[in-house]
Chains A and B, each alone.
Chain A
Amino acid sequence: MSSSKIASKIPEGNLEQKWSKYRSTVPLVNPANKRSLEIIVVGSGLAGASAASTLAELGYKVKVFCFQDSARRAHSIAAQGGINAAKNYQNDGDSVYRLFYDTIKGGDYRAREANVYRLAEVSANIIDQSVASGVPFAREYGGLLSNRSFGGTQVQRTFYAAGQTGQQLLLGAYSGLQRQVGMGAVQMFARHEMLDVVNIDGVCRGIIARDLVSGKLERHFGHAVLLCTGGYGNVFFLSTNAMGSNVTAAWKAHKKGAMFANPCFTQIHPTCIPVSGDHQSKLTLMSESLRNDGRIWVPKRKEDAEAIRAGKLNPNQLKEEERDYYLERRYPAFGNLVPRDVASRAAKERCDAGFGVNKTGEAVYLDFAFNMKYKYGKIEATKKGISNPTEEQLKSLGHEVIKEKYGNLFDMYQQITGVNPYENPMMIYPAVHYTMGGLWVDYNLMTTVPGLYALGEANFSDHGANRLGASALMQGLADGYFVIPYTIGAYLNNEIRTKAISTDHEAFVAAEKAVQDKIDQFLSIKGNKSVDYFHKKLGKIMWDKCGMARNEAGLKEAIEEIKALRNEFWNNVRVPGAANELNPELEKAGRVADFLELGELMCLDALKRNESCGGHFREEYQTEEGEALRDDENFKYVAAWEMLELGNWELNKEDLIYDNIKIAQRSYK
């Protein structure tokens, strides 16, 4: 039984008809009333920009906030590989059902059926909308759209724009947003950070934001507030997230009553550039699309791995039979295209066993030589009528194809590492990339606080315990373009009589004062450790004890260590500068203070989930072959945490019901 405190509000009826029926019957707000309803959107990434422009098109008064200097900087921009959609343009058996099925299975049976089916249904519209707004997706010579494969699927349903798909989709959504800004339908607040939500009589009525340039605190009223603020991977300090990505908006909402769901579900991406030293500030992803053509391996013999680490052996010298293509060996059906959680754990397993290939011992090879020569080289040779091409000819012909497909990624790799990946295999290692957990939302994307919504990565709803590649862009745009514009009507049609509440209301005054007090406190500690010092320490605790593999003892230790670190932070952090100026250290202090609380909840969630599923791997729960061992009998639920006070959370369970999919042990063998 689900907790009585949460109602998922999934519509009745067949899975295939739930959304279309709901969409046709959800109450509407008439155009004249829309003009007096105000909506606050926090975050300007795919979810925020698409929601804001669409809601403004419908006639609502919209305000958008982002901490960067422009809406176009949001971290959606860095997504590389692609966006999934059930178009079946390749005639390879794709369908809405198959995308739905792959997503549920990929998420290791911990996502809501109804949400995921809706996502698959609207996926095709996203591609249409994006193309219409000028997104230059990759095309074939016939002028039609091109597709590729991503992990966890056996069809080609991923649309892409070289390795810059997120950039192109975001700029498409951003241009739609700027169009509304130009028409005065959206008011844009760049370089503003939301620092609290304001609730009145249990209903969300606005936010407190800080103008990051002047340092002034501002109060903003809204009939509804949409948090489109992304994920919290930076709790690990090192991640593929942007430096500014943070949990603050979601965490403030959590502290004001919004439940936080599945916080421990973190995605560790298998193909990132390994850490190079203590100075490391972030990790860079090498797109999953590279796994289409790159083969992952380590040496078969430990001596070879040691020789490589010592710089005495060049990997190109190792013959085929001396290499262990461990993904192809362990998972012949999916090979290098197994889902991310599986690929990451397999890399960790090999490195822990002593087969890692860089100086830290934490790297594996992603090698393009085979496909460069024998796949693309051969095709090009045939096209050009070269019979019996030499190895050198094959290599140079294939080189051009690889360059066309992945050129920007190869350049980026060389720039960061100083190594030419056309000549040497890339070195990669898993890194924190995405957080499946987030604010708990119902089918309407509303949190447990009425009027407060969460969209995109900020919510928990669609990816279960593991997100498939190319599904984050899909979900962000689905939520913003096609879900919230309908579901928000269910709430706002009851709000048409609510007049704008003055921001002189005592709730706004009190919230602003609390924010001001926090800022003053940061500046008054005058300790002797920088904010980064604490952030790095927290990151190490999280990575070691709540990362790719977790166990009970480690999680319990982590909780104690985080509490102690938090205490030290509040006594010994040094935040230079003043409150009334641009002060990046002050901004970071606020974000790290929130991470220091979130980290504890993540460990608690991981500790209470006595099973392994998706990205959550508890060492105590694995099969003899080292695969994740789920416990559907006891843990087939969403863990929605309610904060009673800091350090004391109440677990509310939402049972997951699978009417349309037979749940099974996930197998990619």
Chain B
Amino acid sequence: MSEQNINVTLKVWRQRNSQSKGGFETYPLNDVSTDMSFLEMFDVLNEKLIQEGKDPVAFDHDCREGICGMCSMFINGRPHGPKQAVTTCQLHMRSFKNGETIVVEPWRAKPFPVIKDLVVDRSAFDRIISAGGFISVNTGNAQDANAIPVAKDNADESFAAAACIGCGACVAACKNASAMLFVSAKVSQLALLPQGQPERKQRVMDMVAQMDNEGFGACTNTGACSAECPKEISLTNIARMNRDFLAAEITAK
């Protein structure tokens, strides 16, 4: 596809800090190369704001290759923008039309308070992992890696769940701000492996309890989370977690 330059109008959420009330600011931006990534377009905007003596827009980003999970923009009403299976950093301006108005907001969810502009606090996810998203194996405990064969189907399915980048798009997409897709991805990854069996029940109960403590909403099976997930984490993980959770509750001592 050949490169073009387009003009866009940005409506960006600006909020000084977690206490202050935010609002939209409008910024016209001309001559945007369609080869630019969405975040490179924000670099250009910020460069312009700095030159004008204004405060640049704060946004989270790091690897810019779709894997670290740090970028988190809500673009035209969709987490990570209009394209399927793509993070904001991998979204390119060729996905937008000349003259388009683009609305950019932070993730909106009570457990993800805004820190500044488009930056939110997602530490709730870390606390959920701390509650049980691991296998309790100290360094040095391990046996030979090939001692336990894992059926390829299970290994592949576990990997598909493990591809979650912890960006929080699922929560942002959900009308209930539910974190079920994130939590179920980790639960499933470990439940599908023989190494994860000893703690399987305790894990799901502890992680769900922490998820509830953080104030994430309930799941009502609308599926927006999976539809908007940049890594296309499947809804079947939620079903698996529900089964595991029910079984764990029933058989809990």
Contact = CB atoms under 8 A, between A and B. Distances in A.
A663 to B, nearest CB: 33
A416 B92 contact: yes
B142 interface: yes
Given A53-B139, A136-B162, A68 B115 contact: no
Interface size class of A (residues with CB under 8 A): 35 or more
Contacts of B125: 70
Interface in B227-251: none
A576 to B, nearest CB: 6
A585 interface: yes
B40 interface: yes
Contacts of A174: 129
B69 A73 contact: yes
A168 B186 CA distance: 12
> Which of A68, A281, A285 has most B Cβ within 10 Å?
A281
B68 A242 contact: yes
B43 A532 contact: yes
Contact of B136 (A129, A138, A179, A532): A179
Contact of A280 (B40, B70, B138, B156): B40
Nearest to B86: A415
A213 B115 contact: yes
A206 B47 CA distance: 36
A415 B92 contact: yes
A143 B151 contact: yes
Contacts of B141: 132
A141 B152 contact: yes
Interface in A561-600: 574, 576-577, 581-585
A166 B144 CA distance: 21
B92 A54 contact: no
B195 interface: yes
Given A128-B144, A281-B37, A181 B69 contact: no
Contacts of A419: 1
A536 B60 CA distance: 21
Nearest to A180: B130
B205 to A, nearest CB: 14
Contact of A411 (B33, B47, B85, B144): B85
A72 B143 contact: no
Given A69-B122, A532-B43, A582-B119, A132 B62 contact: no
Nearest to B64: A282
A642 to B, nearest CB: 32
Given A57-B139, A72-B69, A279 B149 contact: no
Given A77-B63, A77-B68, A530-B51, 16 more contacts: A68-B68, A71-B126, A72-B69, A136-B158, A136-B189, A137-B155, A142-B149, A143-B150, A168-B159, A178-B129, A181-B126, A181-B130, A277-B36, A281-B37, A418-B1, A485-B139
17 contacts: A68-B68, A71-B126, A89-B146, A128-B145, A133-B135, A134-B193, A175-B134, A176-B134, A178-B134, A277-B35, A281-B39, A284-B64, A530-B51, A576-B50, A581-B116, A584-B58, A585-B56
Interface of B: 1, 3, 16-17, 33, 35-37, 39-41, 43-44, 47, 49-51, 53-56, 58, 60-70, 83, 85-86, 90, 92, 94, 115-116, 119, 121-123, 125-127, 129-131, 133-146, 149-152, 155-156, 158-159, 162-163, 165-166, 189-190, 193, 195-196
List 3 tightest A-B contacts by C-beta distance, closest first.
A143-B149, A182-B130, A132-B142
